[in-house]
């Protein structure tokens, strides 16, 4: 912790005693010593002691005496006489702040201040880079990637204040101020960072506590562009509440104090000078000059055209203006030397330029704004016709007088820096080539036209467009700054060197943008009027939708809803007004209305592929659901809802020329319905907190330990604020998506197309972005986003940005076509059916994989046993039938043979039978023969045959022919049946 000489007074008495013990003593004079007070004790008391100025003086010194109370102090313009311990007035040519100290001379680093600068490369290598610039009136910070610190330690006897003036014009530098005690603990403070200066020096005041205070001013610059960064300037540091002032300070050169008891010195007026401690200022010789607060005079140069400028007087009653030439104040040139130019004659009368659009010429020949509800082209006001509304704003293209809401200023002096010149406004030659010539335009706010109020999400709030030119021979710079919250300026764009006449447009997105500033600086080299001919010109400035503005035209109001008391009959949402009729016509389906399009059907813009118009018919949205037709005629269904939340991605680290590491952060809001939270990028460097919102935005992030933040974000801008469409095609409109490494076979990438209307000098048509969604089931994280390998910052041309988003949520929803079934074998009467995904897996979510299915089944062993058993039974039955019919056939053959034998050999004649019964002895013989040859089964069958009551079989007998026919039929039937069975 830095604390030089904080405890210096504690060692005074000890030093006094030790000195007398180690040196030879001689008598001392009053000039050989000085008085100091010891440190205050717990009772608030202290002692006055004499401290020798030389080491060998220790005798004859006054004895310590009781000092004044620690709370004692003198007023401004007084000092404490240590001899008498009484307050005395400062002499003329000196000054005193009483209990305060001031530092207003910066020819070198004042006593007690310490500077330290370090360049840190990736947190490892540190290089000393303390290169503060001293200019006499102020100290300037570094402008390279250096963390530069200026510190000062002070011990306050009572609570006091610190005040200083600073100029902080560039947000490419972090500038902070904070206070710590002797234990390196920061004191309470609402904010450590400093506010951006508007166009002049700013003053900062902070309360300090009693005791030890260490003051820190710290800056760190990061130059991400080739142009130089403007430094932070610091001057007039004043601290109150310090110990007594024992002497008065001499006035610095260029100032004086004529009376005793002065609290400060007065700068010498122009053409006068003074030395240090002067009581009066001296006049310069006639051939020499001096600016205000000069310490010497310089020879006057010969007057040239760079020493004067021209302007116009207000229009008189005759509509005439006078061309006036004026010397630049203070005048430093002389007209009497050879070759010097004379001031051109003034008073030439010229016709006044027309009034600016929206104004009219009054009776006094001045330009007055048109009343509400009317418009003009700069001559007379005309009321807007029925069914129209005025388009209000500011349009300045004629410069006879400075507009009421514009002012010019010069940082070094109170004088005009920009002057009107009829067709343009230009920068006048300044006193110093390093002066900042500022032109500020103030705007109270912005309001959309009535017909666009409900279209606010889609319509641009306002836009400023200006035409300018710079004519330079040196390294001049023109800055365009936007002011936020009435005190903070951010650099929007800058131009170096000579620039031909051109137009620049800037989109205004917030009502907090209340001012615009054009700052011109001729060179970084210190000098006086060496480049006075370098000039910046602004030909026209146009701001739309400005509160308090005037109307330059009227337009049909027919885009949203009706407002009570309005002169316009507005069409309902989704309708447009037919040209010249005032009738409302509904827009075609799935279209939205563009208010910047001509009135008529051309205002209805068709939504892009796979998007739908919102409820207000002002934009097209995607609900994150998508259907894609495949080349084989099928359809793929996508659901990007899990990726709809805002996601961030960083570019690879970049390094400035000095080694400062930075990178770009992109915030993406892929899709979503109405009312969703869009992506936003914010500037947390300054208190303005400037924020942009849309689908895609970018900010520059610099790692830093300033303000206890690991990262600081700045320079936010929109890349896409509207969704153009969602498709698998690689080109939509005039936006093309680059070819990345191949995707999965048969599965196309889904591409989201965005566009921003925020036009810049490099991107005349605005910026655009493409987000290519690629299916990768292996990626489980939701923020796996890649930038093009050949364009590490996300873009190759600075206007079109490209992203590749790989995720499992980018895969199509799963359907039954994405899996197959596997049927297992029948085990113990159970069969299982398992479902598995087709490989490679190219889907996610959707229809889940069906659970395993279990079903009952019959095994092969069962069917084998059943078949064998059934076969065996069938075989036994078949064999039994064969045997039965064979035996039956044998019996019939036997009976047939018996019939033939008994017929006596006569064909077709049978013997006459006396009885149908079998003769005695035949049955016994037949049975005997049958029993000896029949099987057991056949025998059982024979016993079951029906018999008569006498035990004989009853056989009906017919004629011989009938008997033969019957026998043949029986034989034939038996043979046929046997063949079929076999």
Residue 849's pLDDT is: 86
Point out the least confidently predicted range of 7-11, 789-793, 795-799: 7-11
545-565 tens-digit pLDDT: 888 889 888 876 644 444 444
949: exposed, middle or buried (Cβ count in 10 Å: 0-12, 13-18, 19+): exposed
For CATH 2.60.120.200, the residue range(s) in the chain are 100-242
pLDDT value at 686 more than 80: no
Q: Which of 336-350, 458-472, 686-700, 946-960 has the lowest mean pLDDT?
A: 946-960
Q: What does the pLDDT read at residue 936?
A: 46
| Cα(846)–Cα(625) distance, integer angstroms | 12
Please tell me the predicted confidence (pLDDT) of residue 396. Answer: 93
Q: What's the rounded mean pLDDT across residues 71-76?
A: 79
DSSP 205: E
pLDDT of residue 318: 80
- Higher pLDDT: 580 or 774? It is 774
Does the 621-813 domain belong in CATH 1.25.40.20? no
Portions of the chain given CATH number 2.60.120.260: 354-524+534-554
Of 150, 186, 212, which Cα lies nearest the Cα of 7?
212
Residue 131 pLDDT grade (very low, low, confident, very high; cuts 50, 70, 90): low
Output 644 or 654, whichever has higher pLDDT: 644
Distance, CA of 213 to CA of 210 (rounded, Å): 8
Q: What is the DSSP letter of 906?
A: -
How far, in Å, CA of 752 to CA of 770, rounded? 6
3-state class (DSSP) for residue 575: strand
d(CA 619, CA 608): 10
Handedness of CA 542, 548, 553, 555 (dihedral sign): positive
Could you report the per-residue pLDDT of 420-459, keeping only the tens digit for each? 888 899 998 777 777 888 898 989 888 877 656 544 455 6
- Higher-confidence position of 902 and 805: 805
Structure tokens at 978: 């046997």
What tens digit of pLDDT does each residue of 452-468 get? 654 445 567 888 999 99
Asked if 662 and 648 touch (Cβ cutoff 8 Å), the reply is no
**pLDDT band at residue 18 using 50, 70 and 90 as cut-offs:** very low
Dist. CA 558–CA 572, nearest whole Å: 8
863 — pLDDT class (breaks 50, 70, 90): low
For residues 620 and 946, which has the higher predicted lDDT (pLDDT)?
620
Question: What pLDDT band is residue 30 in, cutting at 50, 70 and 90?
Answer: low
Q: What is the pLDDT of residue 450?
A: 65
Of 39-43, 138-142, 638-642, 743-747, which one has max mean pLDDT? 638-642
SS3 content of the chain, % helix, strand, coil (to 5): 15, 35, 50
| Higher local confidence (pLDDT), 569 or 441 | 441
Task: State residue 469's pLDDT score.
Answer: 94
Give the least confident one: 327-341, 696-710, 745-759, 947-961.
Answer: 947-961
Lowest mean pLDDT among 37-46, 118-127, 193-202, 409-418: 118-127
Q: What is the location of CATH 2.70.130.10 in the chain?
A: 621-813
pLDDT value at 725 more than 90: yes
Question: How far apart are the C-alpha atoms of 700 and 718, rounded to whole Å?
Answer: 12
In this prediction, residue 283 carries a pLDDT of: 93
Q: Which CATH number is associated with domain 354-524+534-554?
A: 2.60.120.260
Could you give the percent of the chain with pLDDT greater than 90?
Answer: 11
Residue 705: pLDDT band (50, 70, 90) is low
Mean pLDDT of 197-216: 83
Are 176 and 150 in contact by the 8 Å Cβ rule? The answer is no
Angstrom distance (rounded) from CA 308 to CA 344: 9
Mean pLDDT (the chain, rounded): 78
Over 80: is that where the pLDDT of 962 sits?
no
Residues 6 or more apart whose Cβ sits within 8 Å of residue 471: 498, 533, 534, 535, 536, 537
- The count of other CB atoms within 10 Å of the CB of residue 209 is 15
Query: Torsion angle of alpha carbons 229, 235, 239, 240, nearest 10°?
Result: -130
**pLDDT tens digits, one per residue of 509-554:** 778 788 898 989 888 776 667 788 889 999 999 998 888 889 888 8
Q: Which CATH class is domain 100-242?
A: mainly beta
pLDDT, tens digit, for every residue of 377-396?
A: 888 888 887 667 788 899 99
Q: Give the pLDDT of residue 419.
A: 87
Q: How far is CA 482 from CA 143, 434, 539, in A?
A: 22, 22, 19
> Which pLDDT score is estimated for 739?
79
CA pair distance 431, 414, nearest whole angstrom: 11
């Amino acid at each position: 912790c830095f604390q030089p000489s904080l405890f210096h007074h504690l060692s005074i008495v000890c030093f006094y005693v030790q000195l007398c013990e180690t040196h030879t003593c001689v008598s001392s004079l009053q000039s050989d010593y000085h008085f100091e007070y010891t440190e205050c004790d717990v009772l608030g008391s202290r002692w006055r002691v004499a401290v020798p100025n030389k080491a060998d003086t220790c005798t004859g010194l006054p004895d310590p005496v009781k000092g004044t109370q620690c709370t004692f102090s003198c007023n401004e313009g007084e000092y404490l006489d240590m001899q008498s311990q009484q307050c005395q007035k400062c002499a003329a040519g000196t000054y005193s702040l009483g209990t305060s100290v001031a530092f207003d001379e910066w020819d070198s680093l004042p006593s007690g201040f310490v500077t330290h600068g370090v360049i840190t490369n990736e947190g490892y290598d540190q290089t000393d880079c303390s290169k503060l610039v001293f200019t006499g009136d102020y100290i300037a910070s570094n402008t390279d990637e250096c963390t530069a610190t200026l510190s000062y330690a002070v011990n306050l006897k009572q609570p006091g204040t610190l005040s200083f003036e600073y100029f902080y014009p560039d947000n490419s530098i972090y500038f902070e101020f904070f206070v710590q005690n002797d234990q390196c603990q920061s004191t309470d403070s609402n904010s450590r960072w400093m506010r951006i200066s508007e166009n002049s020096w700013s003053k900062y005041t902070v309360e300090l506590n009693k005791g030890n205070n260490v003051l820190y001013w710290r800056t760190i610059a990061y130059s991400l562009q080739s142009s130089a960064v403007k430094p932070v300037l610091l001057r007039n540091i004043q601290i109150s509440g310090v110990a007594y002032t024992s002497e008065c300070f001499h006035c610095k050169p260029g100032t004086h104090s004529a009376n005793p008891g002065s609290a400060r010195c007065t700068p010498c007026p122009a053409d006068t000078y003074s030395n240090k401690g002067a009581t009066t200022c001296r006049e310069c010789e006639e051939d020499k000059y001096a600016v205000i607060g000069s310490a010497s005079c310089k020879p006057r140069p010969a007057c040239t055209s760079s020493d004067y400028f021209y302007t116009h007087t207000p229009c008189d009653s005759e509509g005439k203006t006078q061309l006036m030439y004026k010397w630049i104040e203070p005048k430093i040139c002389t007209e009497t030397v050879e070759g010097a130019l004379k001031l051109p004659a003034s008073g030439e009368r010229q016709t006044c330029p027309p009034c600016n659009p929206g104004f009219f010429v009054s009776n006094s020949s001045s330009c007055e704004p048109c009343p509400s509800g009317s418009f003009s082209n700069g001559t007379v006001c005309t009321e807007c016709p029925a069914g129209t509304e005025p388009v209000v704003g500011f349009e300045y293209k004629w410069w006879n007088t400075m507009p009421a809401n514009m002012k010019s200023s010069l940082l070094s002096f109170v004088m005009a820096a920009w002057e009107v010149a009829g067709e343009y406004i230009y920068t006048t030659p300044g006193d110093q080539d390093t002066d900042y010539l500022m032109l500020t335009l103030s705007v109270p706010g912005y309001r959309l036209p009535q017909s666009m109020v409900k279209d606010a999400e889609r319509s641009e709030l306002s836009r400023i467009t200006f035409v300018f030119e710079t004519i330079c021979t040196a390294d001049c710079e023109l800055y365009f700054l936007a002011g936020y919250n009435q005190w903070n300026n951010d650099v929007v764009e800058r131009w170096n060197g000579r620039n031909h006449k051109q137009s620049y447009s800037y989109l205004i997105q917030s009502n907090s943008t209340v001012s615009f500033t054009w700052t011109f600086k001729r060179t970084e080299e210190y000098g006086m009027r060496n480049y006075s001919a370098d000039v910046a010109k602004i030909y026209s400035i146009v701001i739309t939708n400005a509160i308090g503005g005037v109307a330059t035209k009227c337009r049909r109001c027919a885009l949203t809803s009706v407002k009570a008391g309005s002169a316009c009959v507005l069409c309902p949402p989704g309708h447009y007004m037919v040209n010249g009729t005032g009738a409302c016509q509904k827009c075609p389906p799935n279209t939205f209305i563009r208010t910047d399009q001509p009135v008529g059907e051309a205002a209805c813009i068709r939504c892009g592929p796979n998007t739908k118009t919102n409820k207000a018919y002002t934009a097209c949205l995607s609900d994150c659901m998508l259907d894609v037709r495949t080349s084989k005629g099928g359809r793929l269904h996508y659901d990007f809802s899990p990726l709809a939340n805002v996601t961030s991605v960083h570019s690879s680290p970049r390094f400035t020329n000095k080694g400062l590491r930075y990178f770009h952060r992109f915030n993406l809001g892929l899709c979503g319905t109405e009312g969703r939270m869009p992506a936003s990028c914010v500037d947390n460097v300054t208190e303005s907190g400037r924020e942009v919102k849309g689908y895609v935005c970018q900010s520059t992030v610099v790692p830093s330990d300033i303000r206890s933040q690991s990262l600081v974000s700045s320079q936010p801008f929109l890349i896409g604020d509207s969704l153009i469409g969602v498709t698998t095609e690689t080109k939509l409109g005039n936006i093309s998506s680059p070819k990345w490494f191949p995707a999965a076979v048969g599965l196309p990438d889904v591409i989201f197309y965005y566009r921003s209307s925020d036009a810049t000098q490099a991107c005349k048509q605005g910026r655009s972005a493409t987000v290519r969604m690629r299916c990768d089931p292996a990626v489980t994280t939701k923020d796996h986003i890649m930038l093009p390998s050949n364009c590490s910052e996300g873009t190759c041309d600075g206007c079109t940005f490209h992203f590749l988003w790989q995720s499992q949520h980018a895969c199509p929803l799963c359907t039954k076509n994405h899996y197959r079934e596997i049927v297992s074998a029948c085990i113990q009467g159970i069969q299982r059916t398992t479902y598995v995904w087709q490989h490679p897996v190219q889907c996610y979510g959707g229809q889940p994989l069906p659970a395993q299915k279990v079903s009952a089944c019959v095994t092969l062993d069962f069917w084998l046993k059943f078949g064998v058993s059934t076969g065996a039974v069938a075989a036994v039955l078949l064999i039994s039938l064969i045997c039965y019919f064979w035996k039956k056939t044998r019996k019939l053959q036997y009976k047939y043979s018996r019939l033939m034998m008994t017929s006596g050999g006569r064909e077709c004649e049978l013997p006459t039978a006396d009885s149908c019964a079998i003769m005695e002895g035949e049955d016994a013989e037949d049975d005997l023969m049958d029993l000896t040859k029949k099987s057991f089964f056949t025998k059982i069958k024979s016993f079951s045959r029906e018999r008569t009551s006498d035990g004989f079989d009853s056989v009906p007998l017919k004629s011989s022919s009938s008997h033969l026919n019957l026998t043949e039929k029986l034989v034939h039937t038996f043979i046929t049946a046997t063949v079929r069975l076999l």
